[in-house]
Amino acid sequence: MSSTIDFEPGVTELSTSETLPGQLSEVVRQSLPKHVAIIMDGNGRWAQNKGMPRVIGHKAGVKAVRRIVSVASQLGIESLTLFAFSSENWRRPDKEVTLLMELFFNVLQREIKRLDKNQVKLNIIGDISRFSSRLQSQIIKAQEQTQHNTGLVLNVAANYGGRWDIAQAVQKLAEKVESGEINSSQLTEAAINQHLCMQNQSEVDLMIRTGGDYRISNFILWQAAYAELVFTETLWPDFDEKAFHHSLAIFASRQRRFGLTGSQIEEIQAL
Ligand code: IPE
Ligand code: IPE
Ligand code: MG
């Protein structure tokens, strides 16, 4: 764990031993979430605030992705799930959608070696069938190349919608009922869970949304059922290590009760 992780040399050239002490308190480090999900919002406004076209904001957003992947990886967080393109984002102007697709393709092509070298396992979640065949092949190639990696699991949500995810899980189960493999009484919460994206990963503990809006925008609906929510005004391209640490500190300060009372939780913790 002491090796340098070079996701973006010069910007995030941080070794674990240099980064952690003093920046994250021991309390926060002892209470890190296993699974963090982020709605990376605010790219367009970031660029527009600077009098630049929105696409510049998306490009700056990619740099923020590199930074946060690097930090999450060094902290030993198990899974990081990033909302990159929603099933509703097709409604944007054609030009912006085309640019986003192009950017996605280029980033996959350019970053995969570095992700692989840093033991990151890439997993694209969403309905990729709507993407061009060129992009689909790139996605499959990138996933295959990193599938045996044992470090951070990086889920990138692309053409993803929380409702789609639940519907596709139910559809798979319905097919099993139809074929007689299971009966309808086996269509339980646990069964649905097993057919959702990210079914083998830890539950989402912390969900962050940048960009100042207070909504979920059809991101992971089922998986975030008990996630702690952190909303920040910071626009995604400005979300840096310090901002991430701040969100982790907020997470560490929360009491997760899962339906119990505060005193019950204290009793359990005292055991
Ligand atoms: C998030 O930033 C990135 C995508 C949805 C692709 P936006 O593009 O939504 O930025 P704002 O919200 O318009 O500022
Ligand atoms: C959510 O951002 C989707 C992504 C971050 C990819 P949007 O900017 O599309 O969300 P809404 O439409 O404002 O809720
Ligand atoms: Mg937005």
The CATH number that applies at residue 247 is 3.40.1180.10
Catalytic pick among 89, 149, 193, 218:
89
**Measured distance CA(50)–CA(81) in Å, rounded:** 28
Q: Is 37 in the pocket of ligand 2 (CB under 6 A)?
A: no
Residue 137 pLDDT? 98
Q: Is 23 among the domain residues?
A: no
Evaluate if residue 3 carries a pLDDT over 80: no
**Mean predicted confidence (pLDDT) in 226-247:** 98
Residue nearest to atom 10 of ligand 2 (CA): 217
Ligand found nearest the CA of 161: 2
Known binding-site residue numbers for Mg(2+): 41, 228
48 CA: nearest ligand 1 atom = 14
3-state secondary structure the chain: CCCEECCCCCCCCEEHHHHCCCCCCHHHHHCCCCEEEEECCCHHHHHHHCCCCHHHHHHHHHHHHHHHHHHHHHHCCCEEEEEEEECCHHHCCHHHHHHHHHHHHHHHHHHHHHHHHCCCEEEEECCHHHCCHHHHHHHHHHHHHHCCCCCCEEEEEEEECHHHHHHHHHHHHHHHHHCCCCCHHHCCHHHHHHHCCCCCCCCCCEEEECCCCCCCCCCCCCCCCCCEEEECCCCHHHCCHHHHHHHHHHHHHCCCCCCCCHHHHHHHHHC
User: Is 218 noted as a catalytic residue in this protein?
Assistant: no
- List pLDDT tens digits, range 151-208: 999 999 999 999 999 999 999 999 999 999 999 999 999 999 999 999 999 999 999 9
217 CA: nearest ligand 2 atom = 14
Ligand found nearest the CA of 83: 2
Region of poorest pLDDT, from 2-6, 54-58, 112-116:
2-6
In this structure, the number of other CB atoms found within 10 A of the CB of residue 38 comes to 26
- Per the structure, the count of domains in the chain is 1
Tokens 């605030």 belong to which residue?
49
Residue 257 pLDDT? 94
Residue 23 pLDDT? 76
> Residue 157 Cα, ligand 3 centroid: separation in angstroms?
15
Evaluate if residue 6 carries a pLDDT over 90: no
Q: Is 193 among the domain residues?
A: no
Residue 41 pLDDT? 98
> Residue 254 Cα, ligand 2 centroid: separation in angstroms?
26
Q: Is 196 among the domain residues?
A: no
Evaluate if residue 4 carries a pLDDT over 70: no
> Residue 207 Cα, ligand 3 centroid: separation in angstroms?
16
**Relative orientation angle of helices 54-75 and 94-117, to the nearest 10 degrees:** 30
**Mean predicted confidence (pLDDT) in 213-222:** 98
- Strand partners of residue 36: 80, 206
Q: Is 191 among the domain residues?
A: no
Q: Is 167 among the domain residues?
A: no
Q: Is 50 among the domain residues?
A: yes
Q: Is 254 among the domain residues?
A: yes
- List pLDDT tens digits, range 123-161: 999 999 999 999 999 999 999 999 999 999 999 999 999
100 CA: nearest ligand 1 atom = 6
Q: Which residues constitute the domain of residue 207?
A: 30-161+203-270
CA angle 212, 156, 141 (to 5 degrees): 155
> Residue 24 Cα, ligand 1 centroid: separation in angstroms?
29
